[in-house]
Structure 1
């Protein structure tokens, strides 16, 4: 059995004492701050309405009783987290219209301590929204078009054949690109490229991000013999150069072009959907799967923003933990 930690003996020569290593004692000043914050009381923490419509407003409201104990030079702050960090008064309200479902947290803090008073989620009611599916083969064709644009037939690295594979995941996909390279003063190379990208909603718009590239270079069996074994080293160097080139230029460029094309396609679909409709709909978000691109459209009918004053009240933002 392993030896248990032992405390060292004292300067008076007492023997060491068996026992667990204890945590260091808490700083007395920090302990006073913790005791101070324990006096705070959460009276109310609420949002109304909750859930809200996608383009509608809610009002967050809170009421905190601050500690009655006074520590010289110590100020107790009430802080609201959710859409960033905001120092707020002990009692008040504020309008809220985050784009997505949002978790709000109310805390009190001093320079040496912090205590969470309440937490809850402001949800979104998508009951009036509709889902508009887009054919996955259209998205696949868009991806292939952007890849072909990146490798024109006049370049040193060109497409090898016409088959470009596209494997879809959740809001992501991997493209298999067969290439050939004209290497000056060397053997021509076959290049197998895998390119990973993501598409995702950003406040009702399309975002796209280049993820990774993996390159495999082959000069063929004959090159290994005729080059005296040097082709393997050249292949490694070319693989590294291709990955660097994709990371720095081609990958982000394809992602940017793809984002623009998908956004344009979604805009066209929404325009067609809105013909003769009142109120109009606009895209809130979307999900890409291996079956389709599912666009969620919601009616645009938001009330004016609520005033940023008043007293707490109304429905809750969710479970409140005191």
Structure 2
């Protein structure tokens, strides 16, 4: 005879659904005061929340507008705030407008909150229209050559750690790259060591300018097979110590130095390309952002024709009691 189906709360030996026997985990009971705050916020109604124009031009302004019908129930000592999130946090009136010009596409969230509850009323994503922009591709080979030149600069032939004859490898990701550096170290009173370094970097736009960040270092040190025999096995321990020392050295000095030099070189190249592009153009164009891939460095330039900012009626004035933007 087939087993009868069993349902939660009706298992054999537990007809009344004891959670301790069923293994069910019930949520803790809600605090009555917090429940009253939630009920209060549920009375609110979103009438409108929009951005105009949307999308906007790069460096252009839009106006955020919202209208919320606030709760009518009164709870002693409880104040309901309207909060606008997106570029930090701003306390706003229930009905109002605000100019907006974030650098990138941004999602704004309008919420109501009390000391014990928060309710999201609506969201608006303010986009950017890049229709008037151009893309200036630069070959990734140029960036690869810049990276290799900075690595060679970091390891001159007169140093104690020098480059081997092997190729410096550069592999690109999206706005990132990994460099494989073959080195030789002159270790006093010991065997010369082959050091294979792998360094990770990021290159990314910040408000139209180039930023570069050193990410990580991985080191592999080898003294060769002969050293392991002649040193009685001590070369393995020395290699481990050298690997740790190299990682710390690159983390503290060489890696960030290469990132800074590369940032300056790429920025200079972009400035030169933009100056050539702007010859005879009015209005001029400026760099908005860029993307580095294994194929090229794609620089997006947009016309500088943003109108002056619209007035912001929500900014605190002589009679204002509005809280300022908090980031």
Question: Taking structure 2 as the reference length, what is the TM-score of the superposition?
Answer: 0.88
Of 225, 231, 237, the match for 2:229: 225
Task: Identify unmatched segments of 5+ residues in structure 1.
Answer: 6-14, 311-322
- How far apart are the structure 2 equivalents of 1:273 and 1:25? 65
How many Å separate the matches in 1 of 2:84 and 2:25? 38
Which residue of 1 is the match for residue 208 of structure 2?
Answer: 204
| 16 and 250 in structure 1: CA distance in 2 versus 1, 3 angstrom threshold | closer
Instruction: Give how far 1:23 is off.
Output: 1.4
CA contact (8 A) 2:19 2:25 kept: no
Alignment partner of 2:191 out of 175, 183, 187: 187
Equivalent position of 2:3 in the other structure:
none
The answer to which structure, 1 or 2, has the higher relative contact order (CA under 8 A, 6+ apart) is 1
Residue 247 of structure 2 corresponds to 243
Query: 1:249: how far off?
Result: 1.3
Gaps of at least 5 residues in structure 2 are: 1-7, 10-17, 315-327
Query: How many aligned positions are there?
Result: 298
Find the residue that maps to 1:302 and give its secondary structure: coil
1:17–1:97 CA distance, 2 compared to 1 (3 A):
closer
Name the residue aligned to 2:296.
292
Distance 1:158 1:22, change over 3 A: same
Aligned-residue offset at 1:18: 4.5
2:83 counterpart (72, 79, 84) = 79
Residue 52 of structure 1 corresponds to 56
2:320 aligns to what?
A: none
- Extract structure 1 runs of 4+ deviating beyond 4 A: 15-19
Q: Work out which of the residue numbers 288, 310, 317 in structure 2 matches 1:306.
A: 310
Q: Distance in 1 between matches of 2:87 and 2:304?
A: 22
User: 2: distance between equivalents of 1:23 and 1:285?
Assistant: 47
Q: In structure 1, how many angstroms separate the alpha carbons of the residues matched to 2:272 and 2:240?
A: 45
Q: Cα RMSD over matched residues?
A: 1.6
Offset of residue 120 of structure 1: 1.7
Given the two structures, how large is their TM-score scaled by the length of structure 1?
A: 0.90
Provide, for residues 178-220 of structure 1, a one-character-per-residue CA deviation record: whole Å limited to 9, x for no partner. 0000111111100011111110111101111111111110001
